[in-house]
Amino acid sequence: MFDNATRGPTVARLLALALAAAVLASMVVAGVGVAAAQEDESETDLRVVHAVPDAPAVDVYVDGELVFENVSFGNESDYETVPTGTQNVTVTPANDSETVVFEEELDIENQTTVALGGELDEDGEDVRALARDDDAEPADNESAVRLAHLAPDAPAVDVTVNETGDVLFDDVEFGNATAYETVPEGEYTLEIRNATEDDDGEVVATVNVTVEGGEAYTAVATGYVDTEDAPADEPFSVEVSQDQTAADAE
């Protein structure tokens, strides 16, 4: 038998070990909870392109938070970090948070460009948004290019390469965006044509672009083909912006 002097320290040691185990277990559980919370709060990069020809500069809110300020027509914002998932995206005229010109739930799971197009109508808003992942993976000696058609009065368009006659994009209708196509890096003159079966329609605009290897670009068709009867004096044009690539998300 153990005497009382031996029993006392042994019990104390057992209690101390039990307490330490309980504390360690709680720390593990807490750590798992923190990791889960961090996973739930994952983030990605977002930017917006303003292609609404009759709209003023705009502010853009994501789930009620002002993320982009004073983005003017024909320009794109910088990329900003936002939470991933379904987000409420709200657009207002710059410095006028009470006037909403666009509001929609958009899925933003990966780095994304949201191109705002359409136009303001007499009774309110007719603005739409194209949200596309910036996930191109061009090789070092090629570039990725895509087209977003957001010119309100323009018909469907074909895009051909002046230097080669190659068809880059075929029959792209208003409100749509193409997937990325890859081209060798270099300088190009792109011809935007009224869409025809043979891709030989009238050239309504040209755009000179220089694309670099390993990079990605979005060309946005915007403005009015007929400015005489349009609500804004913004002629049809194609604005090109450089995108993040899949490599930027790593």
Contact 61, 67 (CB under 8 A): yes
pTM: 0.81
11: amino acid identity, one letter: V
Domain 43-249 has CATH 2.60.40.1120: yes
- pLDDT tens for each residue of the chain, 250 residues long: 334 444 445 544 533 434 344 444 444 444 444 444 344 469 999 999 999 999 999 999 999 999 999 999 999 999 999 999 999 999 999 999 999 999 999 999 999 999 999 998 655 458 889 999 999 999 999 999 999 999 999 999 999 999 999 999 999 999 999 999 999 999 999 999 999 999 999 999 999 999 999 999 999 999 999 999 888 999 999 999 999 999 998 8
What residue ranges in the chain does DSSP mark as E strands?
A: 43-50, 58-62, 65-71, 80-83, 85-93, 102-108, 112-119, 126-133, 142-149, 157-161, 167-172, 181-184, 186-194, 203-211, 216-222, 237-243
Task: Give the strands of the sheet with 181-184, arranged side by side.
Answer: 181-184, 142-149, 216-222, 237-243
* Structure tokens belonging to residue 157: 């368009």
